[in-house]
């Protein structure tokens, strides 16, 4: 049988997925629904059917999850974050869905439904899909990450690529339940410094804790005296024009990328910039030696005239794709990072 026009139109809107209730209310008999499920349609979840016998697409699975959870549900956590491009694609199950209280949390097949009282967010619509706003999806995904480094990497990547603002992420960290927020506060503090990777964030935190250096700038835009762009240093000490570079194979795609990263320091050296390279292994195993190396490099740099290069900090806290430059009265990134670091330290004390 052919579906009535109104059901065919609804199926198109819902990417080929309908509920039993929609079919029966639309004029298809329960007996015909049962026959079709056995021959031409596919059951995806209890009461949710694909109008074809084959495997569903990822999008059809997401539509099915929302139909099973109810009309007020929306995609959340890692599911929404992947769909919005905030984190790399990965396995799509279990699908994460939220519903407002007083609905209850439950599991429906391969769908995890979580009830929440935090419903004051503007949902994002993608056809029949309803998704959490970007900062909330990112925060929930980071909370579900397998470890602290993975959570930090998620936030750093999203902030670095200007997909979210740090202050928006900070809001959703702040309104979560207290349990489990320490990881998020630490990750947010790392992202707010402007670090582009977890090792960079760890190195910046190590050098700041030492109290031996003036204010560090992460990943500034660097130019020579003629205005030509130079390689972006991972950390920068502007008073003596010292570049600190984290050299890590793990955070580069392959041998060619690795060689390019190491060789890329040469334009800095050609301009007279002192460059010191640090490995993640050294940061983890020999932190005192790392501090001593950077301090020695700073002392060497201070003994020669400062080269005529210009470093401009990037405002990671307030910038987002398509957004205008932050206004002068907005909170500087380094101040926000300091406040977030203090908050994370306070959470550690409370946990004890």
Tokens of residue 234, six digits: 């991972």
* Local confidence band at 257 (pLDDT 50, 70, 90 cut-offs): very low
Helix (H, G, I), strand (E, B) or coil at 108: strand
Q: Is residue 329 over pLDDT 50? A: no
Percent of the chain at pLDDT > 90 equals 53
For 67-82, write each residue's pLDDT tens digit.
999 999 999 999 999 9
* Local confidence band at 248 (pLDDT 50, 70, 90 cut-offs): low
Share the mean pLDDT of the chain: 83
Superfamily of domain 198-312: VSR Endonuclease (3.40.960.10)
DSSP state of 312: E
Provide the residue ranges of all domains of the chain, joining segments of one domain with +: 5-57, 59-136, 142-194+321-352, 198-312
Q: Which residue has the tokens 């760890």?
A: 202
For 106-118, write each residue's pLDDT tens digit.
999 999 999 999 8
State the pTM of this model.
0.67
Q: Is residue 97 over pLDDT 90? A: yes
Helix (H, G, I), strand (E, B) or coil at 4: coil
The reported pLDDT for the residue numbered 319 is 37
Q: Is residue 346 over pLDDT 60? A: no
List, in sequence order, the alpha helices (H) in the chain. Answer: 5-13, 20-25, 30-39, 58-69, 77-83, 134-143, 148-160, 166-174, 181-192, 198-210, 255-263, 266-270, 280-285, 287-302, 333-351
Q: Is residue 64 over pLDDT 90? A: yes
User: Which segment of 10-24, 207-221, 270-284 scores lowest on mean pLDDT?
Assistant: 207-221
Q: Is residue 331 over pLDDT 80? A: no
For 26-44, write each residue's pLDDT tens digit.
999 999 999 999 889 999 9
Percent of the chain at pLDDT > 70 equals 82
Q: Decide which of 89 and 346 is more confident.
A: 89
- Return phi, psi of residue 263, to 5°: -65, -25
């Amino acid at each position: 049988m052919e579906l009535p026009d109104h059901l065919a139109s609804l199926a198109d809107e819902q990417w080929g997925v309908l509920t039993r209730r929609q079919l029966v209310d639309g004029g298809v008999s329960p007996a015909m629904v049962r026959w079709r499920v056995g021959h031409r349609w596919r059951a995806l979840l209890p009461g949710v059917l694909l109008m074809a016998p084959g495997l569903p697409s990822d999008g059809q699975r997401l539509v099915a999850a929302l139909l099973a959870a109810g009309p007020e549900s929306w995609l959340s956590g890692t599911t929404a974050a992947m769909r919005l491009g905030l984190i790399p694609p990965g396995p799509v199950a279990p699908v994460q869905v939220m519903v407002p209280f007083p609905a209850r949390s439950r599991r429906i097949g391969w769908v995890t439904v979580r009830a929440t009282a935090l419903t004051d967010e503007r949902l994002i619509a993608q056809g029949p899909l309803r998704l959490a706003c970007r900062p909330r999806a990112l925060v929930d995904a980071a909370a579900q990450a397998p470890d602290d480094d993975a959570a930090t990497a998620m936030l750093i990547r999203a902030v670095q690529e200007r997909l979210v603002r740090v202050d928006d992420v900070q809001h959703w960290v702040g309104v979560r339940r207290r349990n489990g927020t320490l990881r998020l506060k630490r990750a947010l503090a790392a992202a707010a410094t402007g670090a582009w990777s977890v090792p960079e964030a760890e190195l910046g935190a190590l050098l700041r804790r030492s109290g031996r250096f003036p204010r560090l700038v992460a990943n500034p835009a660097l130019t020579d005296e003629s205005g030509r762009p130079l390689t972006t240093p991972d950390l920068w000490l502007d008073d003596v024009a010292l570049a600190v570079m984290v050299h890590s194979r793990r955070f580069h795609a392959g041998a060619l990328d690795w060689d390019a990263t190491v060789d890329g320091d040469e334009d800095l050296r050609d301009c007279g910039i002192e460059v010191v390279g640090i490995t993640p292994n050294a940061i983890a195993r020999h932190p005192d030696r790392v501090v001593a190396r950077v301090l020695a490099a700073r002392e060497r740099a201070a003994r020669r005239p400062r080269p005529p290069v210009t470093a401009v900090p990037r405002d990671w806290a307030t910038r987002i794709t398509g957004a205008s430059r932050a206004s002068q009265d907005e909170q500087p990134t380094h101040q926000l990072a300091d406040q977030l670091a203090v908050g994370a330290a306070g959470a550690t004390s409370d946990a004890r």
